[in-house]
Amino acid sequence: MKRKIDTLHLTALGAATAVLMTIATQGHTQGSRNCAPRAAVVERLAEGYGETRQSIGLGANNAMVEVFASDETGTWSITVTSPGGLTCLVASGQSFEKVAEALPAKGNDA
């Protein structure tokens, strides 16, 4: 189960990084409706959806990638924050679950 979580997080981080790179190259600005200062985004996720940070990672160009989720409502969101503090919502959904999975035996990557 732990491996499933790690795989999910790595997939999410990769996707979020790709989206961030697309946003950066297309010249989106703070006026984009899915981007705002980090404090405002975190507050909105907490107050509007009951989501708290579940994981964090460092993406391309030192962008911070975070997964927020609510155990109560099952909603989840992935955000990417640029070094300048602009946070963009890159994915969201429902049916979030925390899973814990034992690692496979050493030498067995299946």
pLDDT on residue 110: 60
pLDDT on residue 82: 95
Q: How confident is the model at residue 26 (pLDDT cuts 50, 70, 90)?
A: very low
- Cβ atoms 88, 78 nearer than 8 A: no
Q: Which residues, 6+ apart, have CB-to-CB distance to 71 below 8 Å?
A: 96, 98
Candidates 53, 91, 87; CA nearest to 70 is 53
Model pLDDT for residues 30-79, shown as the tens digit of each residue: 445 699 999 999 999 999 999 999 999 999 889 999 999 999 999 999 99
CA distance 59 to 96: 22
pLDDT on residue 95: 94
Give the pTM: 0.66
Is the model more confident about 20 or about 47? 47
Q: How confident is the model at residue 20 (pLDDT cuts 50, 70, 90)?
A: very low
- Cβ atoms 9, 67 nearer than 8 A: yes
